[in-house]
């Protein structure tokens, strides 16, 4: 049966948003021929079509004295497939910790993307309407959705759909680009992820149970976990109870102190 096309932001369900995570996050750990950011472009195109998808991730932390880290990439939608123009590019630029400079950089990204597209497809229309999503949280991130042709601007409803997906797209793009970032904060995140994976393996936690570990560590309540994982509060209580039983811990405090207060507890 053909999937009903989403035409309004309010038509997007929690289950559909969760499917983004389920389809993208595993690609970080099980490399395939489809790069995560290309697969994200495909998923987004099932809701709002764009011919070109560009992203710019800016890690404002200074590196090597006078450098900062940025990641740039572009995915092109060509009939029959999605091809990558530049893949993922890594740049070291002068540090720019203010929003005005970031605005200048992401404007240049759009102009550069369009310029390269014109060079590759000189017969295309020179009109490239776009809509962009910007997050100024660290690392800063800009997502460009670009179309080709006159009178092809994004409608109000299409913008509303992208706006609703935005918080989740920001999370997913930062996640799939994490392997390109080596700042202390991200390195800590990677080690934290390794510890969670080791706990899951050593204590035979299910995939569903493993999802709860970060939320337990970060001190979220049952209600907050339920909201983030799109499950019921009773389901949260049941899964956390199973985790404590399998790991021979009594409660949240006991779990955290057992695994995250001494390097002797978990072998990476």
Say whether pLDDT at 5 is over 80: no
In a 13 Å sphere around the CA of 191, the CA atoms on its Cβ side amount to: 11
| 23 and 108 inside one domain | yes
pLDDT tens for 31-54 read 444 567 777 888 898 899 888 888
Is 4 among the domain residues?
no
Tokens read off for 222: 């049952």
Domain of 228, in residue numbers: 185-259
Is 47 among the domain residues?
yes
Domain CATH number, residue 61: 3.30.450
| 116 and 84 inside one domain | yes
| 101 and 143 inside one domain | yes
Is 204 among the domain residues?
yes
Query: Given 165, 181, 197, which residue is the final one in a domain?
Result: 181
Is 114 among the domain residues?
yes
| 124 and 200 inside one domain | no
Q: What is the rounded distance in angstroms from the CA atom of residue 228 to the CA atom of residue 14? A: 10
Task: Taking the CA atoms of 217, 14, 236 and 267 in sequence, report the sign of the dihedral they define.
Answer: negative
pLDDT tens for 199-256 read 888 899 888 888 888 788 777 788 888 888 888 899 999 999 999 999 999 888 888 8
| 48 and 132 inside one domain | yes
Is 94 among the domain residues?
yes
Q: What is the DSSP string of the chain?
A: -PPPPP-SGGG--HHHHHHHHHHHTHHHHS--SS-HHHHHHHHHHTTS--SEEEEEEEEEEEETTTEEEEEEEEEEEETTEEEEEEEEEEEEE----SHHHHHHHHHHHHHHHHHHHHHH-TTS-S---EEEEEE-SSSEEEEEEE--STT-PPPHHHHHHHHHHHHHHHHHHHHHTGGG---HHHHHHHHHHHHHHHHHHHTT--HHHHTTHHHHHTT--HHHHHHHHT--HHHHHHHHHHHHHHTT--SHHHHHHHHSS-TTS---
| 119 and 164 inside one domain | yes
> What φ, ψ does residue 157 adopt, rounded to 5°?
-70, -40
Q: What is the pLDDT of residue 239?
A: 93
| 163 and 50 inside one domain | yes
Domain CATH number, residue 196: 1.10.10.10
Q: 151 versus 261: which is more confidently predicted? A: 151
Local confidence band at 72 (pLDDT 50, 70, 90 cut-offs) = low
Answering whether pTM is above 0.75, one says no
| 143 and 223 inside one domain | no
Query: Given 145, 163, 181, which residue is the final one in a domain?
Result: 181
Is 77 among the domain residues?
yes
Is 76 among the domain residues?
yes
Q: What is the pLDDT of residue 79?
A: 41
Local confidence band at 145 (pLDDT 50, 70, 90 cut-offs) = very high
- Rg value, the chain, Cα: 21
Number of compact structural domains in the chain: 2
| 142 and 82 inside one domain | yes
Q: Nearest CA to 148 among 76, 51, 53?
A: 51
Tracing tokens 């049966």 back to the chain, one arrives at 1
| 159 and 100 inside one domain | yes
Highest mean pLDDT of the ranges 61-75, 98-112, 136-150: 136-150
Q: What is the rounded distance in angstroms from the CA atom of residue 109 to the CA atom of residue 231? A: 39
Is 1 among the domain residues?
no
Is 155 buried (19+), middle (13-18) or exposed (0-12) by CB count in 10 A?
exposed
Query: Given 181, 200, 221, which residue is the final one in a domain?
Result: 181
Cis amide leading into 139 (omega within 30): yes
| 64 and 129 inside one domain | yes
| 65 and 88 inside one domain | yes
């Amino acid at each position: 049966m053909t999937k009903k096309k989403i035409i309004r932001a309010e038509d997007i369900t929690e289950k559909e948003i969760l499917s983004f995570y389920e389809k993208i996050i595993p690609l970080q750990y099980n490399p395939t021929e489809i790069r995560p950011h290309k697969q994200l472009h495909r998923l987004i195109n099932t809701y709002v079509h764009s011919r070109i998808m560009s992203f710019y991730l800016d890690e404002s932390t200074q590196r090597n004295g006078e450098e900062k880290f940025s990641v740039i990439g572009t995915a092109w939608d060509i009939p029959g497939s999605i091809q990558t123009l530049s893949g993922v590019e890594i740049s070291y630029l002068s540090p720019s910790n203010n929003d005005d400079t970031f605005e200048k950089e992401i404007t240049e990204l759009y102009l550069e993307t369009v310029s390269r597209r014109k060079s590759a497809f000189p017969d295309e229309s020179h009109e490239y309407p776009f809509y962009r999503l910007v997050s100024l949280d660290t690392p800063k991130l800009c997502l460009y959705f670009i179309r080709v042709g006159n009178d092809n601007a994004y409608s109000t409803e299409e913008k509303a759909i992208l706006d609703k997906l935005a918080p989740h797209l920001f999370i997913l793009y930062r996640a799939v680009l994490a392997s390109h970032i080596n700042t202390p904060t991200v390195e800590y995140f990677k080690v934290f992820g390794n510890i969670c994976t080791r706990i899951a393996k050593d204590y035979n936690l299910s995939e569903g149970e493993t999802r709860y570990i970060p939320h337990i560590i970060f001190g979220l309540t049952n209600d907050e976990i339920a909201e983030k994982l799109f499950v019921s509060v009773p389901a949260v209580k049941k899964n956390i109870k199973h985790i404590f039983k399998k790991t021979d811990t009594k409660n949240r405090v006991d779990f955290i102190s057992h695994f995250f207060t001494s390097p002797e507890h978990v072998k990476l």
